[in-house]
Chain A
Amino acid sequence: MKKNELYTYVTLSLAMLVPSPARFAYGLVMIVMLNILILVGTIFRKLVNNFFYDDLQNVLITVLLISFCILFKQVIVIYSPIIALTLGILFFMPVLTSFVLGNLYNKSEKPLIDDLVANLSKSLAFSLYSLIFFAIRDIFGYGTLSFPIPEGIHAIKIFDNQTSSCVGIFFSSIPGGIILFTLMILLFSYTMKNLEIIATSEDK
């Protein structure tokens, strides 16, 4: 992971992770949607490059991704109306994230398989990071780990009858979310810097 990618993680976290509710269930739904959008967007970009004018690429891909968001929202409404109501406007946040992460602005010259592998590996790395983020917020904030079910969310209690303080629940709030992901990014960049130092000293 290069330094550039770490900086885009800051932008993407601000766009998608911070505004969402702090439960693992909602994070799971949004990450599934992000992966589907990147997959569909990559395939559609290849189609647009082959059959339409280059100028129309961004417009067509955007319209397609927004249509998929609407479709996905209706599927979630059928499965669990409470989750759809809570997430509301957040269904449209992964569109911007998928544009930046999948690099869908630029034309691609590589074959479809290479594009798919590159984009899906990037999105899986981001999904892992986001799931850790949501899990920390859920476990330390509410003491539970939640999953989406048709009646809403099913919360599995992890900490029972603890008389601990309200420090943990701060991380479930929005400023707490910003501080949490800043700490995670700092940890990653510190680890990367040390790994680089080790790698360059081994070369010498």
Chain B
Amino acid sequence: MLQNLFYYLIYSSVVLVYGIGIERAGALSKKQNRLFIKAIKMLICVTSTTSLSYLFVKGLLVPAGYADLYPFFTILIFISISVFVETIIRITSKVSANEFGTSLLFIFISLSEGLSLADSVLISCICVLSLFATIPIIYSIHYRLDLNAFKKESDKTSYVLISLAIIMLILLFWNNTWLNMGAYK
């Protein structure tokens, strides 16, 4: 379990290496109100959809030989659960926690890379954790750029992206395949 945690959080971070949710993390770091409710909503939706889809796919689709159709059924389950949870959150706290693309891709990753039900649910939890762990990093880069009098959004964007690339290089220190010459020999 710790192995999975470190893999999807640090070595091959879902947000940075798989590339899912970078733009979402950037958008969330600009408007930080009620991040906790958004995190809870994403966690509930992603884990419950993953577990239900896993059971559905393993019990019904795989014996019938239609395992490749899993995204179709996953999205139907996800829409129902997401609308239900979003309605409850809007009624109780009047915050819109609507999120679609990133959650769906997290679910697809968990389903395709999990070895068992517990594994898939664990991977989906770690995906959500890694998204919300990237937000403070991007926020601190924005804050630092604001201190240095970068007021316009468009100037900041390229610096934020280059800083993210440098952070990725640091996290990917174990991967030295780019020191190979490739076709240049």
Whether the Cβ atoms of B157 and A67 lie closer than 8 Å is no
A3 / chain B contacts, CB cutoff of 8 Å: 154
Residue interface bits B147-173, CB-to-A below 8 A is 1, else 0: 000000110011001101110110010
Q: How far is the CB of B56 from chain A (nearest CB, A)?
A: 16
> At the interface, yes or no: A45 with Cβ under 8 Å from chain B?
no
CA distance A144 to B182 in the complex (A): 10
B182 / chain A contacts, CB cutoff of 8 Å: 141-143, 169, 172
> At the interface, yes or no: B62 with Cβ under 8 Å from chain A?
no
Whether the Cβ atoms of A69 and B164 lie closer than 8 Å is no
Stretch in B34-42, B66-74, B87-95, B135-143 touching the partner: B66-74
Residue in contact with A178 in the complex, picked from B20, B101, B165, CB distance below 8 Å: B165
> At the interface, yes or no: A147 with Cβ under 8 Å from chain B?
no
> At the interface, yes or no: A132 with Cβ under 8 Å from chain B?
no
With A70-B71, A92-B105, A169-B181 in contact, is A174–B154 under 8 Å at CB? no
Stretch in A26-34, A36-44, A114-122, A182-190 touching the partner: A182-190
Residue in contact with B168 in the complex, picked from A11, A164, A174, CB distance below 8 Å: A174
Stretch in A14-22, A46-54, A195-203 touching the partner: A14-22
B158 / chain A contacts, CB cutoff of 8 Å: 182, 185-186
Mostly, the B contact residues are helix
With A88-B112, A175-B169 in contact, is A162–B184 under 8 Å at CB? yes
Q: How far is the CB of A181 from chain B (nearest CB, A)?
A: 8
> At the interface, yes or no: A10 with Cβ under 8 Å from chain B?
yes
What size tier do the contact residues of chain B reach? Answer: 35 or more
Whether the Cβ atoms of B19 and A15 lie closer than 8 Å is yes
CA distance A66 to B168 in the complex (A): 30
Residue in contact with B72 in the complex, picked from A59, A67, A166, CB distance below 8 Å: A67
> At the interface, yes or no: A81 with Cβ under 8 Å from chain B?
no
> At the interface, yes or no: A179 with Cβ under 8 Å from chain B?
yes
Whether the Cβ atoms of A19 and B166 lie closer than 8 Å is no
Residue interface bits A87-99, CB-to-B below 8 A is 1, else 0: 0110011011001
Q: Considering the complex, give the chain A residue whose CB is closest to the CB of B166.
A: A175
Mostly, the A contact residues are helix
With A143-B184, A169-B180 in contact, is A14–B23 under 8 Å at CB? yes
With A170-B178, A173-B178 in contact, is A19–B19 under 8 Å at CB? yes
B175 / chain A contacts, CB cutoff of 8 Å: 173
Whether the Cβ atoms of B154 and A7 lie closer than 8 Å is yes
CA distance A176 to B172 in the complex (A): 12
Residue in contact with A63 in the complex, picked from B72, B162, B178, CB distance below 8 Å: B72
Q: Can you list 29 pairs linking A and B with CB atoms under 8 Å apart?
A: A3-B154, A11-B23, A14-B22, A15-B22, A15-B101, A18-B22, A19-B19, A62-B75, A66-B75, A67-B72, A70-B72, A89-B18, A92-B104, A95-B101, A96-B101, A143-B184, A159-B183, A162-B184, A163-B185, A166-B180, A169-B179, A169-B181, A173-B175, A174-B172, A175-B168, A178-B161, A182-B158, A185-B158, A186-B158
**A-B pairs, 6 with minimum CB distance:** A19-B19, A143-B183, A175-B165, A178-B165, A96-B101, A175-B168
Binding site for A on B (CB under 8 A): 16-20, 22-23, 68-69, 71-72, 75-76, 79, 100-101, 104-105, 108-109, 112, 153-154, 157-158, 161-162, 164-166, 168-169, 172, 175, 178-185
